Amino acid sequence: MSEPNTESYSASKGGLLGLTHALAISLAPDVRVNCVSPGWIETKNYSGLRQKDHKQHPAGRVGRPGDVAELVSWLLDGKRSGFVTGANFVIDGGMTRKMIYQE
């Protein structure tokens, strides 16, 4: 998602996505390349979050580091994810699918 004055972030994120699919083709079939794009992952003070922080996520809560670790663990298991390459995994509790209007 883009916010005002985040051109550098947006451009680098786009570059990372392009690099992911280009490397997936260049390194195939020996190497699988995927991208993980986390949203709000609270790493320090989860208990200090407000209820409204959790409610803004369609999943009903802010993410935890373990959420990302589970996805990465799945990607590393070639038996379970061996047919996945060139993909971007957005792990954000559904936030990028939610329409937010500013008043």
Distances (CA, A) of 89 to 34, 57, 92, 102, 103: 8, 17, 9, 27, 30
Alpha helix (H) ranges present in 1-103? 7-26, 51-55, 65-76, 78-81
Domain ranges of the chain: 7-97
Whether this prediction's pTM lies above 0.85 is answered by yes
The string over 35-68, giving b where at least 16 C-beta atoms fall within 10 Å of a residue's C-beta and e elsewhere, is beeebebbeeeeeeeeeeeeebbeeebbbeeebb
Active site residues: 9
pLDDT interval class at 98 (50, 70, 90): confident
The CA-atom distances, in angstroms, between 32 and each of 25, 46, 91, 93 are: 9, 33, 19, 25
pLDDT digits (tens, 9 = 90+) for 48-74: 999 999 999 999 999 999 999 999 999
Model confidence at 101: pLDDT above 90: no
CATH code of the domain made up of 7-97: 3.40.50.720
